[in-house]
Structure 1
Amino acid sequence: MQLSVKPEISYLEKLLAESCKKVSPTVPSEYPLNPKMATWLEEVRDRAATWVRELSIPTKQDEEWRFNNLSLMMKLNFQASAPVNLDVLNIAHLILPEAINSRLVFVNGVFAPKLSSLTDIENEVFVGNLGQLPTEYQERIGNYLAKQPGTQEVFTSLNTAGLTDAAVVWLPKNAVVEKPIHLLFIATQTEVPILTQRRCLVVAECNSSATIVEHCVTAQIICPEAPTSQPYLTNTVTEIWVEENAEINHTRIQRDAGAAFHIGKTAIAQAKNSRYTGNAINLGGRLFRHNLQVTQMGEGTETNLYGLAFIGNEQEADTHSNIILNHPNGVSEQIYKCIVDDKAHSIFNGKVYVSQTAQLTNAAQLNRNLLLSSGGRVDTKPQLEIIADNVQCSHGATVSQLEDDEVFYLQSRGINKEASRNLLIDAFAAEILNKMPLPSLQKILKQCVACKV
């Protein structure tokens, strides 16, 4: 029997309300919001809840979701997560050595000050949650939070409607952060499916720069991608504002449990002469979807987007990107790779829009897929929409298997067949993994790829 769509929306709205009550207050009492900001936040949530009531959970009849199968997710009776107590020993394997004292931790969407360590963060730079936000920033946050294009998309609206706290990184003018900032979002597994909503806001003012690692993972010490894990749903939204001549190197790692569902949105706004590099690594989850949107707000921007997914069993990995170029002299490069094994399903839909005013744009987009089994499936759709006439733009997609000639060549050099295949797979992934900004990340992720191989 097929369930109707609208009752599911009502159910999710009810679940959000219950979730907010059960985990409230997520903002610690020692960091209260000022009355003005609290009132504003309530207005933002009410506005999003109004949008939700007008929207529907996507189905295969929706063009942007026609390859996704949300039926398994919708059948689960998700519950609100209860408070969880972890200590530093529980997360020791997740701490990056380069960011030991520049780490902000959330557990099931709730700020965990005892697990966080920010002593290496300079005084003028703010890294914390909403309740810790200095008054000067509280008065300006309304210009940034929930202001990115695409806020009315259904899962983004659901996230905003349940917003009670957020991870915030605020770089003032001319601030250069030498230490990487590690935003660690941990999901715990219970006997019943739970819903976790996470929010992240990054504001990089003029001439500032930082390296940010957004890490979504479970608290399990064993391989989190094990398909026998308990299901849960993570709905996450990250908004990044890169103002004039600012630079952000952003790495997003998704290693949710193998039975988990992950819906993510990353929205980036780039002002004049700004630079943004985004690295997206997706290894876990039963179903994973990442909606990536970049909006050019000024001329001379530089945007580099790199992504890698390695999926097996019956995993479904979907990346939808939308790059909107409205100003001249912009440079954009996107390379997304996916390794597909068993009966997994990879989806890529990349759009690059170049308006009439975006003359002298240089944009390139490439999606490469490696099929390791006959049961795997790839749906790829790179798109260019160009209105300007003085541009250099290219796009392409490939779907291939390991070449027998290459495997034979390695075997002729004394390497056995299995090791030859593994070497070629490692080389395919290395182009993206070598772009990771931290050596420890490179090592961990290469070990993960080797383990999956």
Structure 2
Amino acid sequence: MTKDAYLGGLLQLSENQPLNITNELGIYLEKIRQKSANEVVQLNLPTDKDENWRFTDLSDLIQQDWHSSTPKELNDIILEGFALKEASSSRLVFVNGYYAPKLSDITALPDTVYVGNLANLPQDKVNKISSYLGKNNDENEVFTALNTSGISDGFVIWVAKNSEIETPIHLLHLTARDNLSTLTQPRILVVGEANSSVNFIEYYGAVASGCSDSAKQQYYFTNTVTEITLKDNAQINHTRIQRESGDCFHIANTIVSQAQNSRYTINEVSLGGKLYRHNLHINQEGEQTETSLNGLTMLQGKQMGDTHSQVNLTKPHGTVNQLHKYIIDDSGRGVFNGKIYVPKLAQLTNASQLNRNLLLSNKARINTKPELQITADNVKCAHGATVSQLEADEIFYLRSRGLNEYDARHLLIDAFAGEIIEKLPSESLKQRLTQCVACRTIDN
């Protein structure tokens, strides 16, 4: 029995996930599942007494009686609402955590990249899997351990060395809700071999009639883990979109390992969910490594959004640039905690970190804590945070140019969000998210 009885129920759901793989991959998965289950037994669900969770209230999560998700068949018409024109033939789809081959299409991709589910991983990659899957998990991170304890399948992108994949790859996880409160634990593995380049879009959405924002008392829990490895001189452009329903609890852990001269960029947009938490952990393990973190979180109603990022620099000439924005309305509450560690070995580092927050109501709240921990003495580092409302003089200026107050407010909000949305590599995704931003602020 675990130290935490409620957590024990979640662990049982994970362990009950069938593992229908019998080759070397199955043996390895069984090994890491058992190891992670043993870790969960020693842990508790976090509370406000845990420093990294003191502003994130999980009480609504633990009031639910969770059940395992079940497969559901979706038709192509439903998929049209999530499809991206640029990735119409480079798309991998999971529904409720189950691979959907009929909805997936990867015919536009070359043989130099494997895009598929974990269960069909080619033998040459099965032989290497232990070097990448389950290797960089944070110790004492209970949700990562819970995910690994039930791993049975997942998304995989594996790019061969010296390969440049120009077509964006769309990893689409959809939840089709039913009358039970369900737990789904997606798993993603991305490997960029030496001198490779790839652009992928990690998208979480909910099947709904109309906008998925409306809460219908049909709760579900998405607990996802993404592991990314960049070998020497590899480049990965990672887009992460969280557009779940108003009934979703979404907890995500992204772990990135960067070798020498590698370049990793994440552009993250979160617009949905009852509770959203993203732990982003990046290890720069080689010299001249570049990391760019761009994020936008929009909260309304009583939504909760929490971003915790940590970048560990271990070698000289590392570069980190981080910009994360929040737009918070109604009684929404945001949390930002960004940590950058620069030890003595990481000389000649250039790191910048900025959290900008726009509060649209008197009840909106943000807890922000950008952090730099530096022991190296030859570095260029800066960090900061701003919290503001829409400025009256800016609205007055726009009204003096002929705009009414409604349009002036929306122009300012759109410009604030647009700085992040414009960084997305997909034009169709930009258009869709721009419309979502406008729709969510229509009553302001």
Report the TM range for the smaller structure's normalisation. over 0.9
1:211–1:250: 8 Å Cα contact kept in structure 2? yes
Distance 1:80 1:257 in 2: 18
Q: Does 1:71 align with 2:59?
A: yes
The amino acid that maps onto 2:46 is: P
SS of aligned partner of 1:291: strand
Query: Aligned partners of 2:128, 2:22: CA distance in 1, in Å?
Result: 13
2:302 aligned with 1:314 = yes
Percent of counterpart pairs with the same letter? Answer: 48
What CA deviation, in whole Å up to 9, does each residue of 1:211-232 have, x standing for no partner? 1000001122521122336210
| Secondary structure at 2:227 match in 1 | strand
SS at match of 2:341: strand
The aligned residue for residue 253 of structure 2 is 265
The reply on whether 1:249 has 2:237 as its aligned counterpart is yes
1:349 aligns with: 337
Structure 2: runs of 5 or more not aligned: none
Aligned match of 2:199: 211
- Listed one character per residue, the Cα deviations across residues 24-43 of structure 1 (whole Å, up to 9, x for unaligned) are 65xxxxxxx45222111100
Deviations 1:34-79 (A, max 9, x none): 5222111100100000000000000011111000110111000111
| Pairs aligned (count) | 440
Match of 1:30 in 2: none
Which of 7, 11, 14 lines up with 1:13 in the alignment?
Answer: 11
Q: Provide the secondary structure at the position in 2 that maps to 1:94.
A: coil
1:323-362 → structure 2 map (5 Å cutoff): 323-362=311-350
What corresponds to 1:409 in structure 2?
Answer: 397
For the residues of structure 2 that align with 1:356 and 1:410, how far apart are their CA atoms? Answer: 49
8 Å CA contact 1:5–1:57 kept in 2: the answer is: no
TM norm structure 2: 0.97
Counterpart amino acid of residue 325 in structure 1: L
**One-letter amino acid matched to 2:183:** L
Counterpart mapping for 1:95-174 below 5 A: 95-150=83-138, 152-174=140-162
One of 252, 266, 280 as aligned partner of 1:278:
266
Is the 2:355–2:368 Cα contact (8 Å) retained in structure 1?
yes
- For residue 222 of structure 1, what is the amino acid of its counterpart? G
The TM-score with structure 1 as length reference comes to: 0.95
Within the candidate set 182, 194, 200, 2:182 is matched to 194
1:289 maps to amino acid: R
Deviation at 1:125, TM superposition (A): 1.0
Q: Is there any run of 5+ residues in structure 1 with no aligned partner, and where?
A: 26-32
Which aligned runs of 4 or more in structure 1 are off by greater than 6 angstroms? none
2:8 aligned counterpart, secondary structure? helix
1:369 aligns with 2:357: yes
Whether the 8 Å CA contact 1:345–1:378 is kept in 2: the answer is yes
Residue 235 (structure 1) aligned to one of 223, 228, 237: 223
Task: Give the aligned partner of residue 85 of structure 1.
Answer: 73
AA in 2 matched with 1:162: G
Report if the CA contact (8 A) 1:48-1:152 is conserved.
no
Q: Indicate whether 1:444 and 2:442 are aligned.
A: no
- CA RMSD between the two structures: 1.2
Q: Quick one: distance in 1 between partners of 2:333 and 2:141?
A: 24
Report the residue type matching 2:182 in the other structure. Answer: I
Q: Assess, with a 3 A threshold, how the Cα gap between structure 1 residues 126 and 288 changes in structure 2: closer, same or farther.
A: same
* Cα distance between partner residues in 1 of 2:137 and 2:288: 20
For the 8 Å contact 2:182–2:220, the answer to whether it is kept is yes
Deviation at 1:87, TM superposition (A): 1.9
Paired AA for residue 292 in structure 2: N
What letter matches 1:105 in structure 2? V
SS state at 1:71 partner: coil
